[in-house]
């Protein structure tokens, strides 16, 4: 559209203010007091060094361990438990180190989310209006195109009959009127995408269906006998089900 107004470009700048000094600052290093990574990392580094030495020792023991009797069986179980404790310790320290940063992130999100939620709500409503208008225009354009093509086809048929009666060559078929959907509404890009509604789930190829593993496992609980193994599974709920040892 000639003379259309270009939408203004809006750039949002977020700043915090250090009330004690009266200076403005970036949110990533200002008034919201983001913890300095160096302080946390020193403690984490020390823990990593300590745990790495322990894990290296345990790894050597695990690699050289062959389970062959009651003592080695107990040793394997003990090693696994110790490694599990090390793993939990590392995860706990990570959570402690990241907790201040997560608190900061939650604070920022709480500040900005209401604005973004409102923007999304307004845009969603506007998008629905734009889509409905584009679809209405397209339907009307298709009606006009169908009518024009039908009239052209009838005229072509009449002209062809006249040419045959006169012993002349048939005229060339008329060009077909086609509907082209505009790719722009103002500064907004318009595109057509595929969507669907399920009519018959049994007709959908299996590779396009998703099995919810957790839900299926809960449904199988109590339906699989203890003697069902991977080599000799039972067929239940459409799957080959079995029991295995979990450590």
Whether the pLDDT of residue 4 is over 60: the answer is no
Whether the pLDDT of residue 43 is over 60: the answer is yes
Pairing, β 23-26 against β 15-18: antiparallel
Mean pLDDT of 82-95: 87
Structure-block tokens of residue 227: 């003697």
**Could you tell me if 130 and 185 are in contact, meaning their C-beta atoms sit under 8 angstroms apart?**
yes
Whether the pLDDT of residue 25 is over 80: the answer is no
Mean pLDDT of 207-211: 87
Mean pLDDT of 114-142: 91
Whether the pLDDT of residue 36 is over 70: the answer is no
Query: How many residues comprise the chain?
Result: 247
pTM above 0.75, yes or no: no
User: How much of the chain exceeds pLDDT 70, in percent?
Assistant: 83
**Could you tell me if 65 and 75 are in contact, meaning their C-beta atoms sit under 8 angstroms apart?**
yes
pLDDT digits (tens, 9 = 90+) for 130-162: 999 988 888 898 899 999 999 999 999 999 998
Structure-block tokens of residue 61: 């023991």
Cα–Cα distance, 225 to 9 (Å, whole number): 65
Please give the backbone phi and psi of residue 7, each rounded to the nearest 5 degrees, phi first: -65, 140
């Amino acid at each position: 559209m000639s003379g259309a107004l270009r939408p203004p470009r809006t750039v949002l700048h977020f700043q915090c203010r250090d009330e004690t000094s009266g200076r403005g600052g970036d949110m990533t290093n200002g008034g919201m007091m983001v913890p300095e990574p160096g302080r946390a990392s020193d403690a984490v580094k020390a823990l990593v060094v300590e745990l790495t030495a322990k894990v290296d020792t345990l790894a050597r023991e695990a690699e050289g361990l062959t389970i062959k009797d009651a003592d080695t069986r107990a040793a394997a179980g003990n090693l696994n438990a110790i490694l599990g404790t090390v793993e939990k310790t590392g995860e706990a320290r990570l959570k402690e180190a990241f907790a201040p940063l997560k608190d900061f992130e939650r604070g920022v999100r709480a500040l900005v989310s209401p604005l973004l939620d409102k923007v999304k709500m307004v845009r969603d409503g506007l998008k629905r209006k734009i889509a409905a208008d584009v679809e209405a225009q397209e339907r009307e354009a298709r009606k006009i195109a169908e009518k024009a093509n039908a009239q052209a086809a009838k005229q072509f048929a009449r002209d062809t009959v006249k040419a045959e009666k006169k012993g002349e060559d048939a005229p060339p078929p008329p060009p077909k009127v086609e509907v082209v959907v505009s790719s722009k509404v103002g500064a907004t890009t318009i595109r057509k995408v595929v969507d669907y509604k399920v009519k018959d789930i049994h007709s959908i190829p299996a590779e396009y269906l998703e099995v919810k593993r957790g839900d299926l496992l809960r449904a199988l609980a109590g339906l699989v006998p203890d003697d069902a193994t991977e080599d000799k599974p039972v067929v239940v709920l459409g799957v080959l089900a079995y029991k295995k040892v979990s450590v």
